[in-house]
Amino acid sequence: MTRAKRTSSVENTIDENLKRAFEDVASEPLPSRFTDLLEQLKTSGTADGANSESDDNT
């Protein structure tokens, strides 16, 4: 086996393992305290978000 083929094989193995690890993490549900915080930010940020957007355009 040539060095390039070995490197390619190692890189493919690393890529596959990283994808597998990130898929596992991405499929886990968010903790309820985090989703609650996101909801609070979304609710309280609607009025503030509209004001900051207009400030950015001036």
Task: Give tens-digit pLDDT for 10-47.
Answer: 999 999 999 999 998 888 998 999 999 999 999 987 65
- Structure tokens given for 29: 């549900």
pLDDT at 55 over 60: no
d(CA 19, CA 25): 10
Phi, psi of 29 (to 5 degrees): -70, 150
State the Cα–Cα distance between residues 46 and 58, nearest whole angstrom: 20
What does the pLDDT average to over 50-58?
51
Give yes or no for residue 48 having a pLDDT over 60.
no
Task: Give residue 56's pLDDT band: very low, low, confident or very high (50, 70, 90).
Answer: low
Instruction: Note the pTM of the prediction, 2 decimals.
Output: 0.41
Which residues span the domain enclosing 34? 3-56
User: Number of structural domains, the chain?
Assistant: 1
